[in-house]
A and B are shown apart, each in its own frame.
Chain A
Amino acid sequence: MAAPPTPRTPTGADRPVLEAHGIRKAFPGVLALDGVDLSLFPGEVHALMGENGAGKSTLIKVLTGVHPPDAGTVSVDGSLQWFAEPLEAQHAGISTVYQEVNLCPNLSVAENILIGREPRRLGLVHWSALHERAERLITELELDLDVRLPLSAHSLAVQQLVAIVRAVDVKAKVLILDEPTSSLDRDEVVQLFALVRRLRDRGVAILFVTHFIDQVFDLCDRVTVLRNGRLEGAYRVDELTSVTLVHRMVGSELRTLDELAERSHTGTAATPESADTPFLSARGLARSGAVQPYDLDIHRGEVIGLAGLLGSGRTEAARLLFGADHADAGELRIDGERAVLRSPRAAIAHKIAFCSENRKEEGLAGELTVRENIVLALQAARGWTRPLSRTRQDEIAARWIEVLDIRPAAPEAQVRNLSGGNQQKVLLARWLLTDPEMLILDEPTRGIDIGAKTEIQKLVTRLAAEGTAVLFISAELEEVLRLSHRVGVLRDHRLVATLPNDPTLTPDRILGTIATGATS
């Protein structure tokens, strides 16, 4: 790497506000970062890109004092710093908004924004000033929410915005946004970008971690690319094209964007064998407060996409099919037989598998190794009286690590040390191992990089070709269109339409259906 390119800054500052040099960090079984450099200048939006497992999250945690580095230095405004805890990083002017909302659900919105620096009078919290200040901050960002309500009363997307409001109010010199857009809808992303630009113009340095390539070109001035824990390089965004950027991220194992484009609409032939009995058939299935009565048929070898905005009831609809929630109306038939799914166990007995959106909370045991997580469901299906031999476990783990390209390819690494995309693959491996007849995938590609995304998409297509029924939930309409035979559209907890995926179906038409609630 030659000298870093000069950034475009309104202040013309020539000295970085934050500089990391030679950062190295290892976890048991994983070398997460190896000699990584990063410099941030005042008044720039700097993207941090890389595939899953490239070390982005670890780098952020080092910069913010969550993990101390094993080697390397961090300096702020030219002076060396050693952060033992997040508070020290905050005091030095580095604020972070994490991908998963890190606020207290039991406190009010106002407290979540200001706790730790509440206005006080005579040593006591000055509540009216607190609410006033929180309200002013909220209004500045053109948001509309009641700051006195507990945070838990708001949706995940709104909670994310609250987290950003909190970070902004710290008077940060450096604002780190770790995939802030992965749970936001389009309007909210626009709001967020407007805010980020305003902060940039005020001279804040913003480190923006994202998987959306378009967002880099929309918003960012420079980009630092990591690959496999190493620095690939730092570039000015206006010197890159999306293809060269992806090339830098994936390196020699480039799966070209052309290939992706070609795949478009390949799996969209007519519904296979639509005449025979569907594998699963729901009639008037509903749960009050979660999803209104809906009808849905899923055939073997068919991919049904579920589209809809966040909170439109996509996940809720799927959970009924897995017995994770109880339906309080309607009936379900599996292979033509009436079935009542009282628990996920019952659904698993019918060979239905469910990969949850919350892979951390509902899917994986982070303390266990990759191997242990993969064999978990298979072992449960066999019963504990017939343990799998260690040799067999090793074989299985090795095979799936290869098939799904789980990185690092270390069966004994603890799952919590893996990146999001690789955790997702471990979860997939576990379910695929039980040979399911129907696979429910809830946002399997959320927050993971383009390479892993393509692999998961390919896998879905292959599984369907082999006769598995797939219910595919995703916020990305292009992805839904690429994979599905039919697309179910949800709006306000109601399945408003099931559209065949013929060449006339476009993202715009789906959006129209979502917007109007009617088939156009």
Chain B
Amino acid sequence: MNTTLSSLTRPLQRFSVRHAVRLPLMVTATLLVAMFSIGSLQYEGFFSAQVLLNVLIDNGFLLVVAIGMTFVILTGGIDLSVGSMVALSTMLTAWLVEQNGAPLALAVPLVLLVGAGGGALMGWVIHTFEIQPFIVTLAGMFLARGLCYMISTESISLTDPTTTRIAQTRVLLPGGLFISPAVVIALVVLALAFVVLHHTRFGRTVYALGGNESSARLMGLPVGRTKVAVYAVSGLCSALGGLLLTFYMLSGYALHAVGMELDAIAAVVIGGTLLTGGSGFVLGTALGVTVLGLIQTIISFQGTLSSWWTRIVIGGLLFVFILLQRLFGGSRPAH
């Protein structure tokens, strides 16, 4: 190896390689800025911090769910059960609190436990029987949605005073701005996820698993345990997302969060995480959720377009991002 030459080209090489890893993230950030600028130029009253904060208020639960999904997708897996898990959590909370008079302090940990346990169970099945995550979590999706109807086919409204008080709480920020407690919780989860993924042994194993699973096994990493854990994290995040949604909607209903798993996957992909695993950032997922939320906001500001346009735009964006992933993936150095 030529030392002088390599020391000359090294900074450049390092820059380009690092750049490549973060490229999707930068694309998403640019998109976000562009969308906000266009909205601000087009519509009166759009250019305000509160508009952005409202996006978070309306999508805090989605952010939490998408963070869990990021863990799973980073290992190269997928979790289709999250939407149904969210619905089950709203149902379970409403049933426990409203119809059985359980205190929140009991209902919340119980719901979280059910979510994490359900996720861990799916992870265990995926690992032990070497079944495609797609099919296992599809089964989990039907199962959880079905369990909702076991509890009740009707929507259960929450009238419990503590619950409604929490739901109406506003966290005031300087400048007359405000957010909901759900946003605070979502941001705390985001920060935790970032630390776990980038600064713990478990997080690095998640990346290793997504990079090359058989290598990870041969390197002596705890592959099985990690796989079970990421699905448990995803289950836990969907249960927490479900709790946030319960407070947002003040009801539990079997038809809540229909198709939310797809929104979560879309947010993760738009946030720059590769579906093949091993590459991506949880902060990108936060950007992805914000992009989805901003699309809704722009369409509601526009006023005349039907809300289905949100879907059409998300569909178009997903196509573009998957194509970008392909191009990005293809530019990796060949062996």
Q: Which chain A residues have a beta carbon within 8 Å of chain B's beta carbons?
A: 66, 85-87, 90, 96, 98, 102-107, 111, 115-116, 118, 120, 123-125, 127, 143-146, 148-150, 152-153, 156, 166, 358
Contact = CB atoms under 8 A, between A and B. Distances in A.
Nearest to B10: A146
Given A87-B220, A104-B216, A120-B201, A152 B10 contact: no
Nearest to A87: B220
Interface stretch (B55-63, B83-91, B202-210, B256-264): B202-210
A150 B21 contact: yes
A434 to B, nearest CB: 26
A149 B208 contact: no
B222 interface: yes
B304 interface: no
A129 to B, nearest CB: 13
Nearest to B21: A150
B155 to A, nearest CB: 43
A379 to B, nearest CB: 28
B200 A124 contact: yes
Name the residue in B222, B279, B335 with the highest tally of chain A Cβ atoms < 10 Å from its Cβ.
B335
B204 A118 contact: yes
Contacts of B118: none
Given A107-B204, A120-B201, A150-B21, A102 B222 contact: no
Interface in B49-108: none
Contact of A111 (B21, B195, B204, B335): B204
A116 B214 CA distance: 15
Given A105-B211, A124-B200, A146-B14, A115 B219 contact: yes
Given A90-B220, A125-B201, A107 B211 contact: yes
A116 B200 CA distance: 10
Contacts of B17: 149-150, 153
A107 B332 contact: no
A166 B219 contact: yes
Given A85-B217, A115-B219, A153-B17, 6 more contacts: A86-B218, A86-B220, A105-B332, A115-B204, A127-B199, A358-B335
B316 interface: no
Interface in B16-64: 17, 21
Nearest to B278: A106
A144 B6 contact: yes
20 contacts: A86-B220, A102-B215, A102-B219, A103-B219, A104-B207, A104-B208, A104-B212, A105-B212, A106-B211, A107-B204, A107-B207, A115-B219, A118-B204, A124-B200, A125-B198, A125-B201, A144-B1, A144-B6, A146-B10, A166-B219
A87 B222 contact: yes
B13 interface: yes
A105 B333 CA distance: 10
Contacts of B222: 87
A153 B13 contact: yes
Contacts of B147: none
A273 B198 CA distance: 64
B136 interface: no
Contacts of B215: 102-104
B314 interface: no
B218 A125 contact: no
A102 B204 contact: no
A186 to B, nearest CB: 13
A398 B268 CA distance: 52
Nearest to B17: A153
A118 B201 contact: yes
A10 B291 CA distance: 66
A242 B6 CA distance: 40
Interface in B165-215: 195, 198-201, 204-205, 207-208, 210-212, 214-215
Name the residue in A98, A104, A144, A152 with the highest tally of chain B Cβ atoms < 10 Å from its Cβ.
A104
A403 to B, nearest CB: 31
B14 A149 contact: yes
Nearest to B280: A106
B217 A153 contact: no
Contacts of A146: 10, 13-14
B110 interface: no
B274 to A, nearest CB: 9
B111 to A, nearest CB: 27
A102 B207 contact: no
Nearest to A319: B334
A490 B164 CA distance: 75
Contacts of B199: 124-125, 127
B335 A123 contact: no
A389 B279 CA distance: 46
B141 interface: no
Nearest to B208: A104
Nearest to A104: B211
Given A124-B200, A150-B17, A358-B335, A115 B195 contact: no
A197 B295 CA distance: 63
Contacts of B220: 86-87, 90, 116
> Sorted from nearest, which 6 A-B pairs have the closest CB atoms?
A104-B211, A106-B211, A87-B220, A106-B278, A102-B215, A124-B199
A210 B208 CA distance: 29
B277 to A, nearest CB: 8
A481 to B, nearest CB: 27
Nearest to B276: A106
Contacts of A66: 218
Contacts of B335: 156, 358
B3 interface: yes
A106 B219 CA distance: 14
A103 B278 CA distance: 12
A85 B220 CA distance: 8
Contacts of A90: 220
A204 to B, nearest CB: 18
B221 interface: yes
A153 B333 contact: yes
B185 to A, nearest CB: 22
A491 B217 CA distance: 37
Contacts of B278: 104-106
Nearest to A183: B335
A333 B208 CA distance: 46
A127 B278 CA distance: 19
B332 A123 contact: no
Contacts of A149: 13-14, 17
Contacts of B1: 143-145
Interface string B288-324: 0000000000000000000000000000000000000
Nearest to B277: A106
B330 to A, nearest CB: 12
Contacts of A143: 1
A152 B17 CA distance: 9
A90 B219 CA distance: 9
Given A66-B218, A150-B17, A115 B332 contact: no
B333 A106 contact: no
B76 to A, nearest CB: 11
Contact of B218 (A96, A107, A123, A156): A96
Nearest to B279: A106
A88 to B, nearest CB: 9
A220 B199 CA distance: 42
